[in-house]
Amino acid sequence: MTGILAIVGGSYLSLWPVPIEPIAWQAPTDLGYVAPFERNDYLKTATGIDIGVFEGPEDATAGVDGLVYATTADGTIVQVQDREVKVFVKLDGRPLGIETDADGSLVVANSHIGIQRIARDGSVKTILDTINGAPLVNANNLAIGPDGTIYFSQSSSKFGADKYDGDYGASLIDLLEHGGHGSVYALDSKTGAVRKLLGDLNYANGVAISEDGGFILVAETGHYRILKYWLAGEEQGTSEVLLENLPGFPDNIKRGTDGRFWIGFAAPRNQLLDRVSDKPFLRKMIQRLPAFARPKAVPFSHVIAINGDGEVVANLQDTDARFPTLTGVLETHDALYLTTIFGHYLPRIDK
């Protein structure tokens, strides 16, 4: 009987159909938490703003009214004033990235719907839900240029959140396949025209734009790196790797003050995934394991800030991971707001 079970189990792990076709690649050697990412506990000063029944404030923006607006898992955009939390509007789907436009409206990347605009009175309009006739799935993060152009990431055109156990589940399966299904687009908010800037990315994630609109930064989560795409100047239309071999999975990028760009790490790197990066067959076997046995995000709290040249200018961590799975940072004149995938708190650090 034991032999039969072993044969059945081996056949299952080797042959059972799975939705991924892993691509072989070579993960860079994980250097760990060495300079400029050395361990520290600077995030231990953060205190959580209780957002009540709402969960997962994945991104946040400062409104023209001075209030903070954050996206949550059930589609609610919450309004935060000091430590008081109110409902601003309820959306269908799962809003992820959020930014404030020049007219005071909020622009949201909704992973289930597309790009949406929320007027100051709370009315909602979907401004982009298809690209070249195909549904826009997995809209993730965005930035708005000085001329109103909306730059946004489509994390994966293959693995949609509605089919693969939400955004977190879809991200895990896309990262395991490593098939290059991510892209970054520019949306002309006046004409509605869309053009692709970057493609073949392994989980395109955070997007931020320089204050002068000269370049955008993009987090390519699956390659542990930050890309720089030039929008103006002699290098217009070209891209480069700005920062690579990061110690974790980079998530959102948001422009702060004084030329800073804040980046959150959803989790540290996974040794197993790195070891089997060049072994597609083993990665298929991993996908056949029960969900509880597959690699998952390890709780850790880590955000950094870089300048436009890719130099790390801030490295903030909490080894106790009181607020884990941080996606990014909203910097205001008096505080840092730490956004996260999970939990019922919006952590804040007073400057």
**Residue 338: burial class (beta carbons within 10 Å; 0-12, 13-18, 19+):** buried
Buried/exposed 44-73: b ≥16 CB within 10 Å, e otherwise: eebebbebeebbbbbbbbbbeeebbbbbbb
pLDDT tens figures, 232-275:
999 999 999 999 999 999 999 999 999 999 999 999 999 999 99
pLDDT value at residue 9: 42
pLDDT tens figures, 85-106:
999 999 999 999 999 999 999 9
Ramachandran angles phi, psi of 28, nearest 5°: -65, 150
Percentage of residues in the chain having pLDDT higher than 70: 95
> For residue 309, is pLDDT > 80?
yes
pLDDT tens figures, 193-242:
999 999 999 999 999 999 999 999 999 999 999 999 999 999 999 999 99
Q: Domains in the chain, start-ordered, CATH in brackets?
A: 2-350 (2.120.10.30)
In the structure, what pLDDT confidence band is assigned to residue 297 with cuts at 50, 70 and 90? Answer: confident
pLDDT tens figures, 12-42:
344 456 799 999 999 999 999 999 999 999 9
The whole model's pTM is what? 0.94
